[in-house]
Structure 1
C-alpha cells in the first residue's frame, strides 16, 4: 500500500512530513487543559525531567496511599493525618462537576513539587504535554535563539522556590520534597530542546506581530512583578497570561493553516496564476492582518469552532496535496514554515496540476469531507479535542461545589448566566484584567489611554473598541479594581493605571 493509499484510508494518522515538521504546525495536538494543567505542565517541562505526563496520576495515587497508611517520613514536619488535611484542604483545587465522584489528587500548582503529583491533562492513558506547546510559543515568539534561551532561564528562575518567596510557598515545597520518593530528582533546569525555527525567521518573523511574539514580552512583564505579591497571587497572574496566549496561539496557527490551503487549493483549481510575485507584494499572504477571534461580550465558542473546522478542512487538503505529489513522483520535502515555502509549494502544484488531477487530489479531499464529517464539524476526534482545549483553557472553571464557583478569577470567557446551559461569552475575570493592564503598561512606567489596553487585547484576538470599554463588563471591572482614571485629555476620557506601579513612577502622570 502506498503512502497515498494509506492517507485515504486513515487521513488523520498520516500527516506528511512537510506539514508535520512545519514551524507553523499546531503541535502538540491540543486537548483538555485547565489553567492549572498549563502551569503544572510548564513546571515539568522546564525543571522536572524525571516526571512524564502519564506518571503524574500514578505519583499522586502513590502519595495518597502513603499518607493514608500513616507512613510519614522522619523529616516531615507534620503527622500523616495533618498532612492529609493540607493536601485535601489548603492545597486542594476544585474538581469539575463530572469529577466529583472520582478519587484523585488535584492540587493548586503553587510550587514545582506539586506538579509531580497533580496537574496532568488526563488521569489515564498518555496525556499530551501543554509544556511542549509553551516551549514552541517561546521559540516562535522570540527574535533570536539567544533571546529564547535567556527567557527560558528567567522563567525557570521565577518558577523556582527561593528565599525570596513567601513562607507558605517555601514550607509547601520543603514538605513535598521530604515526601518525594528517593528515585525522584529535584527541580533543575532543562534547556529548550526543540530546534530553532530558522526557516520562519529567515523570511517572515521579524516584521510580524502575532500572539507568540506578544506572549514572550508579557512573560517578562509577569516575571518582573513576582516580588510584589504572594506566590499564590503571582501564580494566578502567570496562569492568566499562559491561558490567553496559548489559545490565541493555537487559533492563529489554525488561521494560518487555512490561509495556506486557500492558496494551494486555488493553484490546484487553476483559479489564479501564482508566480510568487503577488505573495511578495502581500496579495497572497498566509498571515492574517487582524485576528478577530473573540469579540468582547459576544459568543466565545462560535468563532473558535469556525476556525478549528477550517483548520481541519485545510489539514486534510494540504496533506492530500502533499501525498499526491509523492504519488506522482514529485515529492515536496520543504517544511511549510514560511511564506517562501508556501509560495514554492503553490508553484510546484501549478506546474504539476494535470498530474494531480489525474489522481483526483481535489476529488479525494471532497470525498473525505463526507467520511470525516463528524471530525470536521468538531463533534469528535481532533476537532472536539481542540474545542475542549479552548473551552477549558480560557473558560471560567465550573466547579462541583457551588461554594467554590469564584475560585477561578483568571478566565477570559465566562457563562452569560449561572445556568448550566448558558452560552459562553467573552469577558475577562478580575485577575485577567489585572494581568492585561500590567502587561500593556509594563514598558511605559505610568498610566496611558485605554486605547493601549484595547490594542494589547487585540494582539491576542480579543476585540473591544475604546469607546465600548466604559459601558462594558471590562470597564466595570477596571473601575472596581481601581485601574482607571477619568481624564478629559485622554482618548475616550479614560486612563488605565498600572496595577503595580514602579516605586519611582507617579501613579497618575499627566501624559495621556
Structure 2
C-alpha cells in the first residue's frame, strides 16, 4: 500500500497504525435498534457459531419447517405447543413490531426474551453481509474496565444474567425450552473476550481520563445485572436494552470526539507545535466532559456534526501516516495511548519539513473536497453513523399505529405526530427507571435529584438541574413514583430507588 493507493480508496485503505488504534470505531456502525443490539449481544456472548448473516436464513428455514409441520400436524420432540400455536407465538404474541417500510415483508422478528430467539430474528439486515453490533458491546466492556481480569469477570456475569435459570419467571423458562425444541439448539455457552479482539485503554489513561462513557456503561451494566432476580424477564431485558442503547451511542460519539481532537494535535504538530508529552496529550485529546445531547433539545444534528468531524479526522490522520511511510520515516508512535500519540506527534514535528515538501496538507484538502458528500454525512460511513444513532436512540416507529407504544425505553422521541417532526431528547419511562436505578445503585435511601443529572452527564447528556422539576423528565419521575418532593432538599426533589426491597409490596 502507498499514499497514492490511499488517495484512490481513502475509506477502504486505512493505515495499519490507524487500524490497530484503541480508538478506531470498529465495527463500523450501521442500522440497529435496541432489540437488534440485545439479540446481537446474545449471539456475541453465547453462540460461537452464529453470525449476523446467518440469522435471516435461519428465520426463513424455521418458517418453512413450521409450515411443513402445520400441514402434517406434527411437532418436534420436547415441544409443548403444536405448530399452529407456535406460529401464533412467533407472528403474533411475541412478534416485535415492524418498521413502516417493512409492513409488506415477511420475516420473523421476535422480541428477544430468550437467547434462542437471536438465532432466527433481529439481524441488522435481511440480506447481504450485516455488521455485528454485539462487537461494540464487547469493546465497551473491555474499554470501560481497568484490566483484563475485570473485563472477563463482567463479561462472564453478563453471560450468567442472560442465561435462563431458576431465577427467571415461569414464562421465560417455558419459552426457553420451547425455543430449544423448535430450533434444536443447545449451543449456548460463554464466548469469552479474546486477547487482541477488543480495544483496551492503557491503565494510566483509563485511571486518568475523567469522562469515559464506556466506564459509565460498565458500571451501569453491573447495576442492571444485580437487579435481575427482582424482575420478570421482560422487565429486566427492557432495562438492559435502555442501558445498551444509550451506552452504545455515547461510546461512538466519544470515539468521534477523540478522533477530532487527535487530528487537531497531529495537525498542530505539522505546524511545529502540538503536545510535548503524554500529560499534554491526555489534556488535549480526552475531553473532561461533553455535551453530546441536551435534554429537551434536538439531538441528531449534534451527532451529525460529530460524525462529520470524525470522518475529517480519519482522512487527516491516515493522510499523515501514509505520508510518513512515503517519506521513509519509521513509525515509532501509535494511536492507542497518550504516550503513543505524544511519540507520533514528535515524529511529525521532526519530519514536518519533509512532510510539507510532499504537500501532505494539500493532499488532505484534495481528499476532503473529493469526499465532500461523505463528510457531510449524505452517504456512506457518515450517513450510516447517523442512522445508527437515530434508530438506536429513537422510539420505534411501527407499521401498525396501535403498536406505537411498544417501545418505552427510548432516549429520543418525535416532537410531534408529523413524519418530519424533529427528534428531541426525552427519556421514555423504562429508560428513566433504568437511569434512576443505576444512579442510585449501591446506595441506601433517597438522594438529590442532582445525582441523576450527574449520572446522565457521564454519557454526554446535558440536563439542566433547575429545569427537572418543570420539564417532562420531572413529570415522568413523579408518575413513576421515583421522587419525593421535599422543601428541605436543595432541589426540592429527592430520588427514590425504584427497586429497593422496601418499595415492594409483599406477595
**TM-score if structure 2 supplies the norm length?**
0.96
How far apart in 2 are the matches of 1:324 and 1:307?
26
Superposed CA deviations along residues 192-217 of structure 1, whole A, max 9, x for unmatched, are 12438797324311122310001111
Match of 2:106 in 1: 103
Q: CA deviation at 1:335?
A: 3.3
Determine which of 249, 252, 258 is the counterpart of 2:251: 249
Q: What SS does the aligned partner of 2:413 have?
A: strand
Paired position in structure 2 for 1:21: 20
Structure-2 separation of matches of 1:158 and 1:69: 35
Distance 2:275 2:162 in 1: 48
The answer to whether the Cα contact below 8 Å between 1:137 and 1:212 also exists between their aligned partners in 2 is yes
Say yes or no: does 1:189 pair with 2:197. no
**Counterparts of 1:291 and 1:416, CA distance in 2:** 24
In 2, distance between residues paired with 1:385 and 1:127? 12
What residue in structure 2 maps to residue 168 of structure 1? 171
Would you say 1:82 and 2:85 are equivalent positions? yes
Q: How well do the aligned residues superpose, as a CA RMSD in angstroms?
A: 1.7
How many pairs does the alignment contain?
500
Q: Which residue pairs with 1:312 in the alignment?
A: 311
Deviations 1:421-456 (CA, angstroms, capped at 9, x unpaired): 100011100000000000000021221001100000
CA offset digits 1:35-87 (Å, max 9, x no partner): 00000001001101121110000100000011111252133211111110011
Aligned twin of 2:160: 157
Aligned to 1:124, the other structure's residue is in SS state coil
TM superposition shift of 1:251: 0.2
| Residue among 179, 194, 210 paired with 2:182 | 179
Q: Deviations over 1:441-499 (max 9, x none)?
A: 00212210011000000000111121110111111100111101111222211101110
Normalising by structure 1, what TM-score?
0.95
Q: Pairwise mapping of residues 109-508 of structure 1 onto structure 2 (< 5 A)? A: 109-181=112-184, 184-195=185-196, 200-209=201-210, 210-270=212-272, 272=273, 274-276=275-277, 280-281=279-280, 284-332=283-331, 334-503=333-502
Report the alpha carbon displacement of residue 164 of structure 1 after superposing the two structures with TM.
Answer: 1.6
Question: Is the contact between residue 437 and residue 499 of structure 1 (CA under 8 Å) also seen in structure 2?
Answer: yes
**Offset of residue 334 of structure 1:** 4.1
Q: Which moved more, 1:193-202 or 1:388-397?
A: 193-202
Asked if the contact 1:440/1:456 (under 8 Å) is kept, the reply is: yes
Structure 2 residue matching 1:390: 3-state secondary structure: helix
Contact 2:311–2:375, Cα closer than 8 Å, also in 1 = yes
Distance in 2, matches of 1:124 and 1:142, equals 35
How far did residue 359 of structure 1 move?
1.8
Instruction: Give the distance between the partners of 1:237 and 1:484, measured in 2 at CA.
Output: 19
CA–CA distance in structure 1, aligned partners of residues 444 and 253 of structure 2: 31
Instruction: Identify if the C-alpha distance between structure 1 residues 6 and 215 changes in structure 2 by more than 3 Å, giving closer, same or farther.
Output: same
CA contact (8 A) 1:50 1:185 kept: no
Check the 8 A contact 1:140/1:213 in 2, yes or no: yes
- Change in Cα spacing, 1:412 to 1:247, as seen in structure 2 (3 Å) is same
Match of 1:510 in 2: none
Distance 1:354 1:281, change over 3 A: closer
Q: 1:85-143: CA deviations, max 9, x gaps?
A: 01111110000011111111101000000000011111111111111110010000011
Give the Cα separation in 2 of the matches to 1:346 and 1:199.
21
* 2: CA distance, partners of 1:296 / 1:392: 18
Distance 1:283 1:85 in 2: 56
CA distance in structure 2 between the partners assigned to 1:42 and 1:301 by the alignment: 25
Where 1:364 maps in the other structure, the secondary structure is helix
Task: Output the CA distance in 2 between the equivalents of 1:6 and 1:37.
Answer: 36
Q: Do the aligned residues in 2 keep the contact of 1:17 with 1:333 (CA within 8 Å)?
A: no
In 1, distance between residues paired with 2:282 and 2:433? Answer: 38
Q: Is contact 1:26-1:253 (8 Å) kept?
A: yes
Contact 1:145-1:196 at 8 Å conserved across structures: no
Residues 130 and 197 from structure 1, CA distance in 2 versus in 1: closer, same or farther, beyond 3 angstroms? closer
**Deviation >6 Å, runs of 4+:** 196-199
Q: Is the 8 A contact 1:141 1:216 kept in 2?
A: yes
**Inter-partner Cα distance in structure 1 for 2:395 and 2:274:** 47
